[in-house]
Amino acid sequence: MDTDVIIVGAGAAGLAAAKELARLGLACTLIEGSHRIGGRASSTEIAPGVWFDMGCAWLVGGATNPFVTIADDLGIRLSKDKSAVFELPNYRFQRNRLPLTPAEREACLRYCDDSYAAILASVKASRDVAIGDVIDVSHEFAPPFMDGVAVGWGLDVDRVSTADFASSEGELGYQAYSGFGNLVAAWGADVAVTLNTRAEKITQTPQGVTVETSKGTINGRAVILTVSTGMLASGEIRFVPELPDWKTMAITGLPMGTENKIGLHFDTDVFGSEGRGHYSTWNDDGTAAKIDVSVMGFNKAVIFVGGRSAIALEEMGPTAMQDYAVDRVADLFGNDIRKHVDHSITTAWSIDPWTRGSWACAQPGQAHQRANLARPVEDRLFFAGEATASGAQGTCHGAYESGIRAAREAARHLTMVT
């Protein structure tokens, strides 16, 4: 036997599982198909000393997020004094290039409150249906709410479960000045990982499991899978025997949504001290976006687009995505900003080969599948990742906590059979 536990995927879940298994005194082998650790946590410099998070960017929930303590221990600076900017009452709404009047803003926030209430009422009545079935999608102020769902869940309101939406918790919280992806990479740097090693086939044996990889076969007593539902659904990892129907139904019920981001950097401060904030902007022609006009003091804006719009833009390519983003920032600050754009970065999460999307989103009627996705198969195959979390689904800390949970489940089983 090569190891006690084989872990597939070195994102936050896999790294947390490896650390927890080490704490429990069990040996593990952690493999990662890509060239780096961190998974959907990845930071790239958009300009010297200015970081852009390709994936997760917020320590959701603020002070309660476990990565806050991790960051403090590592001496990594967080925007702890900025979190209130990202709360709904402090959003800046702009329609057709004009800020909402006080009366319009009040009506917009009231629509949001009414929509949240309708979603909660649906769940209370045990109706797990599409969000679009319970809100007024024709309302004057439906566009920013629906855009928020698409950005926050990666799917549009006709495809998002009310129960899954209602179970999520926490405000956007804090950001890391040097990038959340860099924070995760620093935290995981002490974990041994075999990179550029794809899992291709997982076989249950009388002794445990074998994982056939692009670099050979590994034998273990159990395996923890932390890959996305997009990867599980792709068929790129074969299972012998095949996964049971209840597990494949869970994977199907939790498809990947897509949120894409465009980062723009400017060669001067085009925002001014009063311009920095979190915006929801939309026009009557259907164009819309959420925009983080960097509250941390950088000359940077991050434009968020989700659901069908995100995929359509992604298919048009990086230039079209950049043009769309510049147009949306110009909606806020005027056309003069265009000549000051000096760098841009775009994401393409729906075709990312290691995830096939941004995060798992429960289809209407399928919120219960998160628990089924988390359930072990034959006490040999254990599952972790943000898709298995409820409450912290779609978040880096949800993945982190799931890795610890799966490691403890595997350890309990291995201890019992020793």
- Domain residue ranges in the chain: 3-37+193-255+362-417, 88-170+259-351
3-state secondary structure of 208: coil
What pLDDT does residue 236 have?
Answer: 97
Q: How far apart are CA 93 and CA 106, in angstroms?
A: 11
- Least confident segment among 133-137, 284-288, 376-380, 414-418: 414-418
Q: What is the mean pLDDT of residues 89-111?
A: 96
* 136 phi and psi angles, rounded to 5 deg: -90, 95
Q: How far apart are CA 151 and CA 307, in angstroms?
A: 7
pLDDT digits (tens, 9 = 90+) for 232-265: 999 999 999 999 999 999 999 999 999 999 999 9
Going by C-alpha positions, the residue among 294, 302, 304, 303 that lies closest to residue 269 is 294
CATH topology for the 3-37+193-255+362-417 domain? FAD/NAD(P)-binding domain (3.50.50)
Q: How far apart are CA 129 and CA 145, in angstroms?
A: 17
Where residue 417 falls among pLDDT bands split at 50, 70, 90?
low
Structure tokens at 387: 């898709």
Which residues does residue 78 pair with via DSSP β-bridges, in sequence order? Answer: 176
SS3 sequence of 134-190: CCCCCCCCHHHHHHHHHHHHCCCCCCCEHHHHHHCCCCCCEEECCCHHHHHHHHHHH
Burial, 171: exposed, middle or buried (Cβ in 10 Å; 0-12, 13-18, 19+)?
middle
pLDDT digits (tens, 9 = 90+) for 324-346: 999 999 999 999 999 999 999 99
Q: How far apart are CA 56 and CA 46, in angstroms?
A: 16
The CATH architecture assigned to 88-170+259-351 reads Alpha-Beta Complex (3.90)
Residue 387 has pLDDT above 60, yes or no: yes
Cβ partners under 8 Å of residue 149, min gap 6: 131, 155, 156, 157, 160, 165, 306, 307
Confirm if 397 and 170 have CB atoms less than 8 A apart: no
Find where tokens 């925007």 sit.
79
What pLDDT does residue 273 have?
Answer: 82
Percentage of the residues of the chain whose pLDDT score is greater than 70:
99
What pLDDT does residue 193 have?
Answer: 98
Burial, 98: exposed, middle or buried (Cβ in 10 Å; 0-12, 13-18, 19+)?
exposed
Residue 171 has pLDDT above 90, yes or no: no
Which residues does residue 38 pair with via DSSP β-bridges, in sequence order? Answer: 11
